[in-house]
Structure 1
């Protein structure tokens, strides 16, 4: 049986970031996944490195918004009613953590890890030779009416005052100047200049994983469900044979709760499902920025496969069959403002792993020697994987963590 210092379960961006940082600190690390690197949840995001995303995606408080979701009139969120027996408990916890005080606590906890998001990505991109995947210029949120822009700017200004997040208001003329192929009927946009963007999230993750292997890390195809205690070690079965280590990190995204449950540890992990699809350009349409349409609930940007259209949240069971209703509806609305051509692939479905307070779990699992948690990054797994991977690696190797890990502790929901 091959022995390592640490086994990292899950080769999404979170697991890859953890493995690289542990390897940088001299640990003999095995990264294990049932598929190749960055082929599950980390494959399907919009590619943003959202360093500005201090404020969490809280459950809405506006009665009109809630009613619109409940009645199926909105496209930014969809509740699957027959799944409520399985999802209601988590949804209620999410609602309970979406009040003003709780949202502010989450925002405060987001500050140090988001401050490291882009620098840690840049460091890995340079080492991996993957800087050609990165695009600058941030993203824009587009609005159809002036009153919508005014309401958005009130929030943006409050966040700028407290947290220093910059923004820029664009009127219709400036929007047309920056994005000549977007419909002239839009009233304007808000530009968020700081976030980075990659043209393919999966390729980015694969480049980091290749760096990990080049520098002495080991990747194995294996099944997380085989994790078991073997004396003082944790053992996992892989295609190349069993491996063992005194420490194991659960970085399995939406499947992390299953792994902990097998060890008798329950965590309130839910999912927000989301879809994407790729399209050819029509009429030689070009986008210079990634576009978010908050009123409709989609993101649209360039990807090496074409224009990638991603949806908002679908509240359904993690393993339920795909129901790409939202995707069809937002596609129709996206075509109203940008000339999308024909679809070039089938809809893709992924599940964002979410804890009720929309903060990740990072740290040791109480009562389970050598078992560490690193999951629950909700919409920010791609953004935060390298940054929180560094935080966990510092904790595991006895360094002084760059941020206080208390807000992300595993037992914070124990009460």
Structure 2
């Protein structure tokens, strides 16, 4: 790859792709973003808005595998393995089991990424001209029974949470939490050090404005990679585009793109669901209802409940039972959903080791990747943009540790 690239094509207009494009443009490159679905919000826009720096332990672990049966959707849990998608999740599951044997190495890599996540978000929010986009209030974790509260507290006490800390909720916080729901709960802790995006629509608009100011060109349409020798070019709308750097940051679509140039990626569509409705309730940090594997977040005057880990294919229709269960959870907890409920589902791009793919693609002169962020697309998007700019342009790294991170 050129030591002094001047041009870059970023395939993917989601949060990770946008963050990478902005940082590459800031490093002096002429950047083109190719987006095939500008009106369709990908997974990073449909999540809980939670910047989850406490999640330094990859999900690819023996603990995850042991707990899978009791977490199955049919038993009331959030994990689902649709029969129609067995061809996708069975080989993925076998790879996940193999990755679990490398848990310590994965945790070390993820911990280093997480160490830079919050500082990178502060820099990004400042560069977007809206520091209020980032709300650093932590989040709450609640349990509904004494037994699950005791087990949950013990589990978090034994979990490495990186730069975040877990403490008991105060009496005042308990009172506020009780006032925001109609059902009783048995215990709550507060995670300090995590954060949330205050308004995802506002974030999308701020990013689009910043990209426009930076001179980033947008092409609408589906991209195809073409390899000639060791170089890769991009075709979109019948037009061929060439650049010193071609960055694949297309989320779940990244595997199909790379397959076109002979690169096989074991990416799965790990689908999540949410429901959202207007609210006039209290403005609270995100609340994780651990007994139900559900997180509830306030964005402006709307409240969102998100859940489910559905290993599937992106082209399969959504499962309406997921939305029905979310609505039941919301009703049983007495949460302040008011007015019409809007459903959503999307595909998290997940690799078996639950680490993102960030790096140059072997065997090519100008192809690089930034995808596979699983549940952590929002959390790691800002720092991924900085790492990509450093990796491809050779700017000063935001933290010396990033210069040695490899995936």
With the length of structure 2 as denominator, give the TM-score of the two structures: 0.89
Q: Distance in 2 between matches of 1:371 and 1:386?
A: 21
Are the counterparts in 1 of residues 15 and 377 from structure 2 also a CA contact under 8 Å?
Answer: yes
Equivalent in the alignment of 1:247: 245
Structure 2 vs 1, CA of residues 214 and 233 (structure 1 numbering), >3 Å: closer, same or farther?
farther
User: What's the RMSD between the two structures over aligned residues?
Assistant: 2.8
1:21-73 per-position Cα deviation (integer Å, ceiling 9, x unaligned): 11121111111111338822222011112222212234674788433345711
Deviation of residue 254 (structure 1)?
Answer: 0.8
Of 64-73 and 348-357, more deviation after overlay is shown by 64-73
Are the counterparts in 2 of residues 149 and 190 from structure 1 also a CA contact under 8 Å?
Answer: no
Q: Distance in 2 between matches of 1:53 and 1:70?
A: 21
SS of equivalent residue, structure 2 residue 292: coil
1:320 aligns with 2:316: yes
Equivalent in the alignment of 2:124: 124
Deviation of residue 112 (structure 1)?
Answer: 2.0
1:268-294 per-position Cα deviation (integer Å, ceiling 9, x unaligned): 11121011121233xx53241211112
Q: How does 1:264-413 map to 2 (within 5 A)?
A: 264-281=262-279, 284-304=280-300, 306-342=302-338, 344-399=340-395, 401=397, 402-404=400-402, 408-409=406-407
Deviation of residue 20 (structure 1)?
Answer: 1.3
SS of equivalent residue, structure 1 residue 84: helix
Q: Distance in 2 between matches of 1:388 and 1:84?
A: 31
Equivalent in the alignment of 1:52: 54
Deviation of residue 376 (structure 1)?
Answer: 0.6
Q: Distance in 1 between matches of 2:34 and 2:6?
A: 12
Aligned equivalent of 2:75, options 63, 73, 76: 73
Aligned length: 401
Equivalent in the alignment of 2:23: 21
Q: Distance in 2 between matches of 1:203 and 1:234?
A: 35
Q: Distance in 1 between matches of 2:401 and 2:205?
A: 27
SS of equivalent residue, structure 1 residue 327: helix
Structure 2 vs 1, CA of residues 66 and 112 (structure 1 numbering), >3 Å: closer, same or farther?
closer
SS of equivalent residue, structure 2 residue 147: helix
SS of equivalent residue, structure 1 residue 93: helix
Q: Distance in 2 between matches of 1:407 and 1:391?
A: 9
5+ residue gaps, structure 1, are 410-415
